[in-house]
Amino acid sequence: MDAERMLSVLTVKDTKQGYGAFLELERLSEESDDLYPYTERFADMVSDRAWAVRCRGFRLFCKQARWDGDGIIDRCLDRTLAILEDEKPTAVRQALAALLDVVPYKRTLWPVIRGRLEAMDLSRYKDSMSPLIQKDIQTLLNAMQ
C-alpha cells in the first residue's frame, strides 16, 4: 500500500485497518523523511473527534522531528500539545511517550514542552491513571536533562 493510501486509512472507522496503516507509517517515519511533507497534516489530526486519530496524528507528527529542517515542528508544537489535556488518559500517555521522539532533535523546544508538562492537571484522571501519567512525565523530564 502506498503512503497516500495508508494516510487515508488512518482516519477510517475500522480501527484494525487504521492501526495497521499507522504502524506501517510509523515504521516508514523511522527509516526516512518520505512522510515529512505530511507533518502539518499529522498536526491537524490532533484536533480530530476520534481519540485514536488524535493519537496517531500526534505520534506521526513527533516522528518527523528528526527530519524537520523547515521548522514545522517548532511552528505547530504548541497547538499539538493540546493533546496533553485530552480526556482520554491513554491518549495523554501515548503523547508523552511520543514526545521522546522530539526531545533529542529539538532542544530549543524543551522550555515549551516543560511548561506544558508543569501545567498539566492530573486530578481529572482516575487515581489508577494519575501515577502512570506522572511517571511518563518524569521520564520525559529526565530525557530533557
Q: Residues for the chain: how many in total?
A: 145
Percent of the chain with pLDDT over 70: 99
Per-residue model confidence as pLDDT tens digits over 84-105:
999 999 999 999 999 999 999 9
Longest distance between any two alpha carbons in the chain, whole Å: 43
- Give the other-Cβ count within 10 Å of 46's Cβ: 22
Look at residue 1 in the predicted model and tell me its pLDDT. Answer: 59
Residues of the chain with pLDDT under 50: none
Domains of the chain: 3-143 (1.25.10.10)
In the 3-class helix/strand/coil scheme, how is 64-99 assigned residue by residue?
Answer: HHHHCCCCHHHHHHHHHHHHHHCCCHHHHHHHHHHH
This prediction has a pTM of 0.94
Is there a contact between 106 and 73 (Cβ–Cβ < 8 Å)?
A: yes
Give backbone dihedrals phi and psi of 42, rounded to 5 degrees, phi first: -65, -40
Look at residue 30 in the predicted model and tell me its pLDDT. Answer: 95
Look at residue 8 in the predicted model and tell me its pLDDT. Answer: 86
| CA–CA dist 87, 64 (Å, integer) | 25
